[in-house]
Amino acid sequence: PFWLKLPNLLRPPSGLLSPAIMSDVNVPEMPDDMGDEMSDDGMGGDYNPPPELPEGVTKEITKVGEGWKKPKAGDEVTVHYVGTLAADGSEFDSSRGRGEPFVFTLGQGSVIKGWDVGVATMKKGELAKFTLAPEFAYGESGSPPKIPANASLVFEIELLSWLSKDDLFQDGGAIKTLLKEGTGWTKPIDGDEVRISVKCTAKDGSVVDERSGLDYTIGSGA
């Protein structure tokens, strides 16, 4: 990929996203009891207000996104972006110019600090312009030759989609990745009878087991 070659722009310079620096960045988590906060029309009412951006990051929405959901830390997000220098507007990088979206894991320090903070405030389809102070970009080191030291940057970012990933037991033993949105907001509880389809694959992608129309009772252990 382009960002692994010459400019290496979206990879933070050494030390820039150290744990000490990342400790003051709060990527909002989506609560599990989402349905309790939603209105009957499923639009969520006042639920999930935009998180407050830290000083040094400003956001201007160019195109409003869909719905109310936003990605959370650990989600795999797909974006298009154009990066320019705030000082003179010169472009230093663009996924649109390459014709290929950029994919990264949110809140893991794999991109510059301002991206982890800013993209967490976006909805699907939203187009926004973020202005980042140097401490949320490449800091004192910059990213030569295109980004000088202590440069403020402007990124136009479009959030195309994301894969929602949840560590169900907080131990890495079971990771849920949302492949298709369901309808409504209610979920089955213990004692409910459900019908599901199951497909089990190995790490190499080979199918180990696949069944449809499987009935069982939630919480029965069967």
Q: Please report which confidence band the pLDDT of residue 43 belongs to, taking 50, 70 and 90 as the band edges.
A: very low
Number of structural domains the chain divides into: 2
pLDDT at position 15 = 40
Quick one: 112 and 145 in the same domain?
yes
Q: Which of 81, 102, 104, 136 is catalytic?
A: 81
**Mean pLDDT across 203-208:** 88
pLDDT over 70 at 184, yes or no: yes
Least trusted range by pLDDT, from 33-42, 46-55, 101-110, 138-147: 33-42
| Two structure tokens written together for 192 | 């409910």
Give the model's pLDDT for residue 21.
Answer: 39
At 110 the pLDDT is 96
Cβ-Cβ contacts under 8 Å for 156 (sequence gap 6 or more): 62, 81, 82, 84, 127, 128, 129
Question: Given a cut of 70, is residue 28 above it in pLDDT?
Answer: no
Q: What pTM, to 2 d.p., does this model score?
A: 0.64
Structure tokens of 211?
Answer: 């069944």
Q: Is 47 a catalytic residue?
A: no
Specify whether 56 is located in the same domain as 146: yes
Top mean pLDDT of 2-6, 27-31, 50-54, 102-106 is at: 102-106
DSSP H helical segments within 17-98, as ranges? 19-22, 34-37, 95-98
Mean pLDDT over each residue of the chain, to the nearest integer: 82
Both 160 and 186 in a single domain? no
122 and 70 in a common domain: yes
For residue 179, the model assigns a pLDDT of 81
Residue 92 annotated among the catalytic residues of the structure: yes
Cβ–Cβ < 8 Å for 27, 108: no
Instruction: Please check whether residue 16 is in contact with residue 153, taking contact to mean a CB–CB distance below 8 angstroms.
Output: no
Active-site option among 75, 102, 104, 112: 112
Q: For residue 12, what pLDDT is reported?
A: 57
Which one of 75, 93, 102, 116 is the catalytic residue? 93
- On whether residue 222 sits in a domain, the answer given is no
Kindly state whether residues 120 and 210 are assigned to the same domain: no
Q: Which segments of 22-88 are extended strands (E)?
A: 57-63, 76-85
Say yes or no: 56 and 120 in one domain. yes
Tens of pLDDT, residue by residue over 64-121, are 999 999 999 999 999 999 999 999 999 999 999 999 999 999 999 999 999 999 999 9
Mean pLDDT of the 202-217 span: 89
> Which domain, by its residues, includes 89?
2-166
**Do 49 and 62 share a structural domain?**
yes
